[in-house]
Amino acid sequence: MLLGLIRPSQGSIHLFGKDLKKEKLNILRKVGSLVEYPSNYGHLTAVQNLEAIRRILDVPKSRIDEVLDIVQLTKEAKRPVKGYSLGMKQRLGIASALLGSPELLILDEPTNGLDPAGIHEIRELIRSMPKQHGITVLVSSHLLSEVEQMAGTVGIIREGVMVFQDTIHNLQQQAAGGFQLKVSNPQEALQLIHAEGYSGELNKGALMLTKMSDQQIANVIKRLVDNHHDIYRVEENRKSLEDIFMQVIGQGGIL
Amino acid sequence: MSSMLRVLSAERLKMSRSYMVLLMFISPILAFIIGLLSEVGDTPQPWIALLGSLSMLHAMLFMPIMSGIFAAFICRYEHAGGGWKQLLVLPVTRTGVYVAKFTVIALLLAMMQLLFLAAIVILGFIKGIHDPFPWDIFARSIIGGWVACLPLAALQLAVSLMWNSFAAPLALNVMLTIPNMLVINSATYGPYYPWAQPFLATLPGESTIYGNDPFGAFNLPFESLMITVVGSFIVFFTAGWLYFRRKEV
């Protein structure tokens, strides 16, 4: 919808402060995109594929070599694309998205169907975009671990409504849950902790403590040791992005 | 407009290594072979007779069918693997893309017509026809036939855009072309059947040339044929264009 492929049933879209309806061409000129799987003309070489797009974008021919260099396809550039691996096609797709020197790059499921090496390759490529070329990258993906490794800011959309948007750092802060302590005598230990003024509860014989600072946790442990409790384990209960995702989605009450 | 020309230039490049271009040689070559085997000998107007005998296959079957094949081919690359999305996220207008695609089909058909003309001229020399070449009649036939193909090309482009399949538009096209053999002999329906127009336009005023009794739709004036052509062109082209502008890809 951001690219004008589908019309919004209501509302308007503004990119770069411009209305998509009125200035679609000006906006599209500044946006590079790779929608779903990469599409290309199999009987043509990478260079010819890019040339076909270059003619439409009307950018200098030198851009072709530049983008091929960015995605490291220069060596394979003269081969027909139908012989490419999926990873190479994906890189070619990113190359064509970069051809018009966009300010915004929209990638839909960029690592879909790739092998681990390919995923790593594409991920590194995407992460280098903002740093090396100053391009904002918008990635949509259902692979949460991928998002966790790539994104700076995440948004979660549920049934067409943005239910969450924040930086990944803040999200991980939220994700950092409490601590779990396994001790020799949980009951007494819990009383001790309550006496110290911390909140906690018992869960399957383990002490669950809410989030606290390093200093606080050190203090709790010191107190437990001083009172002759044996501490078997201290674990941090870090929620994965998936848990948070499920939590955010679940709040809609649909599940 | 500039958007359309840029798409056109990209389209040309996409075709550069495909076999599609070779398809336009099929009909002229077949016409050439038929021409070699046919007798034009003693007719008073040997060039016209040659045109008449070669048009049977070329104008009645191949021109409508090739319009469909070109249209299907030109959409095939985009249908295969989400190409529409990639094309339409570029800074191009849908109208630009649509007109460019149509222009490519029109140009391919024009080239096919020129090859057909070339085949007739070469045959004429081989057969030793010494009459002066009737440029005016041939120009009307070749250009008229081409123009009469454009509505079919527009319809085929529209259905090719609509259906994510290569064969379905072709099946429709052949289905609509086959009745030609009957329709052209009908004075009632012939003038209004778009698929018959390329043939009728290629053989203009045959009855006046030969002076024989008019039969079927052959005797219709060139102008009235063109009304059917222009009318159906406007309908098909506009329908395809409106559809493509609203299409969600």
ipTM value: 0.73
Give CA angle at B195 (B191, B201), nearest 5°. 60
Average pLDDT over residues B109-118: 92
Q: Which residue of A has its CA nearest to B244?
A: A5
Question: Does pLDDT of B211 surpass 50?
Answer: no
Q: How confident is the model at residue B239 (pLDDT cuts 50, 70, 90)?
A: very high
Query: Which among B7, B77, B85 has the least Cβ separation from residue A5?
Result: B85
Residue contact A37–B82, C-beta within 8 A:
yes
Q: How confident is the model at residue A68 (pLDDT cuts 50, 70, 90)?
A: confident
Element (H, E) at A137: strand A136-140
Cβ contacts of B83 on chain A, cutoff 8 Å: 39-41
* DSSP classification of residue A132: I
Query: Which residues of chain B make contact with A53, given a CB cutoff of 8 A?
Result: 10, 86, 90
Q: Would you give the DSSP letter of residue B3?
A: H
Among A109, A148, A159, A236, which one carries the catalytic annotation?
Answer: A109
Most confident of B95-99, B204-208, B214-218: B95-99
Q: Which residues of chain A lie closer than 8 angstroms to B77, CB-CB?
A: 41
Q: What number is the average pLDDT over the span A164-174?
A: 75
Interface test with B, best of A39, A57, A82, A138 (most B CBs within 10 A): A39
For residue B18, the chain A residues in CB contact (below 8 A) are 43
Domains of chain A with CATH codes = 14-151 (3.40.50.300), 177-238 (3.30.70)
Residue B95 contacts A, CB cutoff 8 Å: no
Cα-Cα-Cα-Cα dihedral sign, residues B216, B220, B222, B224: negative
Confidence band of B92 (pLDDT split at 50, 70, 90): confident
Q: In this structure, are strands A176-183 and A231-238 parallel, antiparallel, or unpaired? A: antiparallel
Within 13 A of B76's CA, how many CA atoms are on the CB side?
19
What percentage of chain A carries pLDDT values higher than 70?
93
Whether the CB-CB separation of A88 and A76 falls below 8 Å is answered with yes
Structure-block tokens of residue B129 = 């026809």
Structural contact between residues B100 and B14, judged by C-beta atoms closer than 8 angstroms = no
> Which residue type occupies B71?
A
Closest CA to B161 of B63, B71, B69: B71
> What's the structural domain count of chain B?
1
In this prediction, residue B41 carries a pLDDT of: 63
Q: Which residue of A has its CA nearest to B12?
A: A52
Parent domain of B16? 2-246
Q: Between B207 and A200, whose confidence is greater?
A: A200
Adjacent-strand bridge partners of A18: A15
Rg of chain A over Cα atoms, rounded to whole angstroms, equals 25
| Rg of chain B, C-alpha, whole Å | 19
Name which of B7, B10, B85 is nearest A36 (Cβ-Cβ): B85
Does the pLDDT of residue A255 top 50, yes or no?
no
Report d(CA A154, CA A148) in Å as an integer.
Answer: 9
- In the numeric block, which tokens belong to residue B207? 């009855």
CA-nearest residue to A47 within chain B is B13
Among the listed residues A218, A227, A231, the one whose alpha carbon sits nearest the alpha carbon of residue A195: A227
- pLDDT tier, A21 (very low <50, low <70, confident <90, very high otherwise): confident
Which tokens hold the place of A113?
Answer: 């169907």
Averaged pLDDT for residues B72-94? 81
- Interface check B10 vs A, CB under 8 A: yes
Instruction: Find the distance separating the first CA and the last CA of chain B, reported in whole Å.
Output: 23
Taking residue A201's Cβ as centre, other Cβ atoms within 10 Å add up to 13
- CA B103 – CA B81 distance, rounded (Å): 23
Cα-Cα end-to-end distance for chain A: 27
Asked if B88 and A3 come within 8 Å (Cβ–Cβ), the reply is: yes
- Residue A66 designated active-site: no
For residue B78, what are the CA distances in angstroms to A9, A65, A85, B74, B232? 26, 25, 20, 8, 26
Helices (H) and strands (E) in chain B, counts: 12, 0
Report pLDDT for B204: 57
Collapse the DSSP code of B121 into the 3-class scheme (helix H, G, I; strand E, B; otherwise coil) and give the result.
helix
Question: For residue A15, what are the β-bridge partners?
Answer: A18
pLDDT higher at B206 or A153: A153
Residue type (1 letter), A119:
I
Mean pLDDT along residues A235-249: 73
A-chain residues near B7 (CB < 8 A): 56
Q: Flag whether pLDDT at B229 surpasses 90.
A: no
Which of B85, B87, B243, B246 to mutate to probe the A interface, most A CBs <10 Å?
Answer: B85
Contact B13/A57, CB-based, under 8 Å? Answer: no
**Listed range (A27-31, A39-43, B2-6, B97-101) with the worst mean pLDDT:** A39-43
Distances (CA, A) of B220 to B146, B147, B151, B179, B201: 18, 17, 19, 19, 9
